[in-house]
Structure 1
């Protein structure tokens, strides 16, 4: 049984488990989903299996990683959302927590990214007692940047070039006192 971390009005956020492989593959093999990620879509189920193993290793080593987002109405994994401890530098930052999310296109524009991210941020600030959470998004990813700034309250701090795909990204931060006010 997968451990549940966050329960919102429409979603359950729980640990990603090996049984999620087909839905994770569906997500990570979709070119539209992967458009702004900096890596090519996967083409083999084994690649998704490796991804799940890496995430599960992060749970053990760092106490946190991305979580499966389950739509209550359908009981389907529709994406993932969660915090990740950046153990490799991103924009010069290391050993900080980064918010990330990814959803299947059929679930875009329904508020799921905002709803799940708010639950994750609440968990990070209240349960983990974090003082600041970071995130980044490719400048051309207008929808994600709008969610981060307008709906979640992240503050743009800088731009940087992502080493994976050489895309220009916004670097954001959200402080605990600004989120919990």
Structure 2
């Protein structure tokens, strides 16, 4: 098992097939999917396919979303990290996207922010990326607040699957984790 980053409260590690129960709790919750434009999963077979897809991204692109684990309890909290996007989105193609998704009982504790900062640090300092992008449904105030707090700026609102989204970016010169 590869650990990519640790923070005060979190371990960010590769997503494993054994994370199926935690991933199912996360992705079967309609509240988690409120701003995601897709439907909650119905069975663990779907989760298994998602985990396989993410693990293939590790091989194909050297990066993919990571499991977030509580450092103290070792409980699965959700996922975060970078994903290499090859499909065109808002006129961009072949870019790195920051994302995060947490089980609802872990919301509003600063954990998504903590995981996002660690993910950016990895992208800029390990992968030597020049910029990283993110997308958030315009109605998702919490996610938009996190992205702005950690230094992203949004210069575009675009439509994705008939829903308005903010298009965010941050470059390595704007990333200042010590000030957060």
TM-score exceeds 0.5: yes
- Counting matched residue pairs gives 177
SS in 1 for 2:78: strand
Shift of the alpha carbon at 1:180? 3.8
Residue aligning to 1:110 = 109
In structure 2, distance between residues paired with 1:146 and 1:117: 12
SS in 1 for 2:11: strand
For structure 2, the residue ranges without an aligned partner over 5 or more in a row are none
SS in 1 for 2:52: helix
Residue aligning to 1:169 = 165
SS in 2 for 1:36: coil
Shift of the alpha carbon at 1:45? 0.5
Residue aligning to 1:75 = 74
For structure 1, the residue ranges without an aligned partner over 5 or more in a row are none
SS in 1 for 2:173: helix
- Which runs of 4 or more aligned residues in structure 1 lie more than 2 Å from their structure 2 counterparts after TM superposition? none
RMSD between aligned residues:
0.9
2:95 matched to 1:96? Answer: yes
Question: Cα deviation per residue 1:144-168 (whole Å; 9 max; x = unaligned)?
Answer: 101111x2110012011113xx210
Length-normalised TM-score, structure 2: 0.96
Matches within 5 A, 1:20-169: 20-149=19-148, 151-163=149-161, 166-169=162-165
Shift of the alpha carbon at 1:38? 1.2
Length-normalised TM-score, structure 1: 0.96
Shift of the alpha carbon at 1:89? 1.0
Shift of the alpha carbon at 1:92? 1.3
SS in 2 for 1:47: helix
